[in-house]
Structures are given as C-alpha cells and as structure tokens.
Amino acid sequence: MVLPALLFLILFAYLPMGGLVMAFQDFKPWLGISGSEWVGLDQFRYLFEREDSLQVIWNTLVIAVFKMALNLLAPFVFAILLNEVRKQLLKRFVQTLVYLPHFLSWVILGGILTDLLSTEGGLVNRVLTGVFGIEPIFFLGQGDWFRFTVIVSDVWKEFGFGTVVFLAALASINPSLYEAAEMDGANRWKQTLHITIPAMLPIAIVVGTLALGNVLNAGFDQIFNLYNPLVYAKGDIIDTFVYRAAILSGEMGFGTAIGLFKSVISFILVVISYRMAYKLANYRIF
C-alpha cells in the first residue's frame, strides 16, 4: 500500500534534486547540465548583490511572519469564543461556515477579491465611499495596502481550519475543573483566564514552533493570483521571484540558486522548530 506513494515521492521529490547542480552553473537549456559552464558560487554572490533580491527576502519575511502570528492568534481567540456558545446547532453552523473558505483555491478567491476590491464599482470601495466618505483605495495596486490585503485575506481563509486544532484541545479539558472553579465563585471570565487558556497554551506552542519552519513560505498561490508589476516592490516574495527569474526571464541557474538558498534556510528552521517544540511542549514525532 505504501509503494505507490513512495514511488510518487521518489519521482517528484527526490529525482528532481539532481537539477540543483544548475545553481552552480551558468545553465543554458540547449547545452544541458553536462554542457553548461560551471561558475561555482557566482549565482549566490549575484543573489546578495542584487537590490531586488534583498527586497524580495524582506518582503517574504514580513508577509510570512505576520501571517504566522495572526494565523495563530485568530483561531486561538475564535476557538475560545466558539466554545462559549451553548446552542450546539448554532455552534456547528458557525464552525462549518468559517471552515469552508479553506477548501477554496486562490484561483477562485483571487477573482473574487479582485472584483470586491476594485476601485471601479467594487463592493468594499463602494461601502467605504458611500458610508464613510473615504476615497476609493487601490488595495491591489498600492504596496502597503497589498501587503495588508494579502495578510488579512489569508487569515480569513485559514483561521477556520486552525480553529479545529484548538477546539480539540478544549474538548480534552476535564469538566470537573470548571465545576470546581464555579463552586469557588469563579465567573466565566475567570474560568477562561485560569483554566481554558493555560490548557490551550501547550498546543499553541506546538503550532507556533512548527510554523517557524514555514517562515520563508509566504504563499505562492495567493501572491501569484493577486499581485501585479505595481506592487513588486512590496509584494514580490521568494517563490514568485524564482518563477519570474527562472521561467519568464530564463535565468534558470539564478532561479535554482534562490530556491536552494530558501530550502537550506527552511531546513535549518524546521530542525530548530521541532527542537523547540520538544523543549517547550514535549512534542516529538520520532
């Protein structure tokens, strides 16, 4: 039963690693890997000499860190609030409603957001102008607003999925703790502060530390479907930069060098994050 998955993994994850040698070559497609000139670390030196490369790395870190923080905080808070709902039907309805966006691709959501945020008749700008008297905002054409839009829309899409983890942690809390606290005169706020939140902190630590390994993954699908040349300075990330450098511009050696740099840093962060998860929450996979 494992063999098909193993063959799939070898074919698509391990065999392509042979192409990493292009990161050390001035790769020419018509010469192939064997015929291209070996340049050593020149591609990596070029990576750190280019001003746009450093800006892309900074953009990736800013977007990814904000996504990580808010995608941890939003489901944490929402799970606590949802846990206080006593009507089970309402609780399940709300949980399903916020969970659904997770299953929509960014191709679909990108089109929806483009229409909603348009400066020419978009629903959001119509509300801002008609109700609050604010001038239309070019959400997808101004760098800072683009970052804001990317982060908020990603949190909206994923926080329902993240809530499931924290609801599972809440379900494991012994009800007798709440009963004892109630007998001692603790109200719902005190019970939340001294029972619910401490019980959720271990899983929050695990989720947060494991997310550290993805700090350089700012979301290729989302950025690719929403960005445009107007926001490259603030919205371009490593993955989209690799796509444009390697596929569109034909700098395959340079694109491979960027991808290898990202993979090495991500591997180090994954090792650190799993070590932190073990130290802080006694969580281990192996």
* CATH code for the domain in which residue 98 is found: 1.10.3720.10
Asked if residue 94 belongs to a domain, the reply is yes
Across 56-83, b (16+ Cβ under 10 Å) vs e yields: bbebbeebbebbbebbbebbbebbbebb
**Contact assessment for residue 274 and residue 284, using Cβ atoms and an 8 Å cutoff:** yes
CB-based contacts of 70: which residues, under 8 Å, 6+ apart? Answer: 151, 155
Q: How confident is the model at residue 8 (pLDDT cuts 50, 70, 90)?
A: very high
Percent of the chain at pLDDT exceeding 90 = 13
Asked if residue 226 belongs to a domain, the reply is yes
Q: What is the pLDDT of residue 271?
A: 83
25-26 vs 37-38, strand pairing mode: antiparallel
**Contact assessment for residue 246 and residue 254, using Cβ atoms and an 8 Å cutoff:** yes
Asked if residue 83 belongs to a domain, the reply is yes
Asked if residue 48 belongs to a domain, the reply is no
Task: State which of 127-131, 150-154, 235-239, 280-284 shows the largest mean pLDDT.
Answer: 150-154
Range 129-135, long-range pairs (CB < 8 A, 24+ positions): none
CB-based contacts of 106: which residues, under 8 Å, 6+ apart? Answer: 219, 221, 222, 224, 225, 226
Beta bridge pairs of residue 25: 38
Asked if residue 264 belongs to a domain, the reply is no
Asked if residue 120 belongs to a domain, the reply is yes
DSSP state of 142: S
CB-based contacts of 216: which residues, under 8 Å, 6+ apart? Answer: 60, 61, 64, 238, 262, 265, 266, 269
Asked if residue 74 belongs to a domain, the reply is yes
Beta bridge pairs of residue 38: 25
What is the pLDDT averaged over residues 100-125? 88
The one-letter amino acid code at 204 reads A
Q: What is the pLDDT of residue 286?
A: 61
Domain extent for 239: 59-253
Q: What is the pLDDT of residue 285?
A: 63
Q: Count CB neighbours of 101 within 10 A.
A: 16
Number of domains in the chain: 1
Residue 168 token pair: 């599972």
Residue 235 token pair: 């919205």
Q: Count CB neighbours of 148 within 10 A.
A: 14
What is the pLDDT averaged over residues 101-114? 90
Q: What is the pLDDT of residue 74?
A: 92
Asked if residue 147 belongs to a domain, the reply is yes
Reported pTM: 0.84
Condensed to tens digits (0 to 9), the pLDDT of residues 39-97 reads 888 888 888 888 788 888 899 989 998 998 999 999 999 999 988 888 888 888 888 88
**Contact assessment for residue 255 and residue 242, using Cβ atoms and an 8 Å cutoff:** yes
